[in-house]
Amino acid sequence: MVKDAPIFAALADPTRRSLLLNLAENSPKTASQLAEEYPITRQGILKHLNILDDAGLVTVYQEGREKRYTLTLEPLSELDQFIEELNAKWHNRLLQLKAFLENEEIGETTTQHEQD
């Protein structure tokens, strides 16, 4: 299961989700390179990147004087596993509900035939 809730908070913001998609296609990138592609300042981009870093969704490494950001897949794999588990449980509940409703319907039909 997903260890920390910060991943959910990080993914809740559309700008951060967009940054992750950008890094998935074009990493590594610096905050300055990313800021050129968004209608927010470099400082704004850095705040978003720090939140993504705290959630473990990006990795930061120093190259010369610049920090470069890359996507980290492990937390997304954990999140995917969590969603699959949740989906399976929900699917089982829906199957149980379906079976219950079908049995109720059969019971009502039987009762109606007995009354006729």
Q: In the chain, what are the domain boundaries?
A: 6-72, 73-116
Determine the straight-line distance between the first and last CA of the chain, rounded to whole angstroms.
55
- 22-43 mean pLDDT: 94
pLDDT digits (tens, 9 = 90+) for 34-67: 999 999 999 999 999 999 999 999 999 998 999 9
Confidence of residue 4 (pLDDT cuts 50, 70, 90): low
Class of the domain covering 6-72: mainly alpha
Place of tokens 């470069």: 68
Examine the pLDDT at 116 and tell me if it is beyond 70. no
| Predicted local confidence at residue 115, as pLDDT | 61
Q: Please, which residues bridge with residue 62 across strands?
A: 67
> CA-CA distance, 92 to 82, in Å (whole number)?
16
Output the CA angle 93-3-76, nearest 5 degrees.
Answer: 80
| Predicted local confidence at residue 1, as pLDDT | 46
